[in-house]
């Protein structure tokens, strides 16, 4: 029986794809394996802005319809840094640097106010992907939520 909880599904997929490597390779990521939950996900490209200070920029490459609804708008193409808290759903991104630095998934839960002034209660999972050498190039966010 397949687990239906989004975070568990994503963690299982991440572990299976990773195998014996430090983290799963982005080039082997297959949306088809997660097709039924893909609308609840986002993909961020990781760009190193300052290697010395370990500051990264992140760009929304994909944002599923459910995730767009949670945030209150489509943020595809939008760039952010984890400590910049002036955009919808910034609470969800607070720990992205930790996921990139540690090359490990991070699950979290909490609340935020979206672009439409709705309180969103969420569970999230940040999954780092990258190269076989261990450099993180992308982070997948899985987001289950309810607005009030």
CATH number, domain of 32, equals: 3.30.450.20
Would the pTM of this model clear 0.75, i.e. be above it? yes
pLDDT band for position 88 (cuts 50, 70, 90): low
Q: 105 in a domain, yes or no?
A: yes
Q: 72 in a domain, yes or no?
A: yes
Task: Copy the structure tokens of residue 106.
Answer: 């991070």
Q: 10 in a domain, yes or no?
A: yes
Q: 42 in a domain, yes or no?
A: yes
pLDDT band for position 124 (cuts 50, 70, 90): very high
pLDDT, the chain, mean: 87
- Read off the pLDDT of residues 12-51 as tens digits, 9 standing for 90 and up: 999 999 999 999 999 999 999 999 999 999 999 998 755 5
Q: 46 in a domain, yes or no?
A: yes
Q: 1 in a domain, yes or no?
A: no
The total number of structural domains in the chain stands at 1
Q: Are 43 and 30 in contact (CB under 8 A)?
A: no
Task: Copy the structure tokens of residue 135.
Answer: 């450099």
Q: 71 in a domain, yes or no?
A: yes
Tell me which DSSP letter residue 18 carries: H
Which residues lie below 8 Å from residue 112, measured CB to CB, with a gap of 6+? 88, 89, 90, 91, 92, 119, 120, 122
- Range of 91's domain? 6-147
């Amino acid at each position: 029986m397949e687990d239906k909880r989004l975070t568990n599904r994503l963690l299982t997929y991440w572990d299976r794809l990773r195998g014996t490597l430090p983290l799963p390779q982005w080039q082997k990521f297959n949306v088809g394996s997660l097709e039924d939950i893909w609308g609840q996900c986002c993909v961020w490209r990781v760009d190193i802005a300052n290697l010395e200070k370990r500051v990264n920029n992140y760009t929304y490459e994909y944002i599923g319809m459910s995730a767009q609804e949670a945030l209150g708008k489509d943020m595809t193409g939008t760039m952010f840094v984890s400590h910049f808290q002036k955009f919808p759903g910034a609470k969800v991104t607070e720990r992205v640097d930790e996921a990139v630095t540690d090359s490990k998934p991070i699950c979290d839960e909490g609340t935020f106010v979206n672009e439409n002034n709705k309180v969103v209660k969420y569970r999230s999972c940040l999954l780092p992907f990258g190269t076989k050498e261990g450099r993180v190039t992308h982070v997948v966010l899985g987001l289950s939520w309810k607005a009030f």
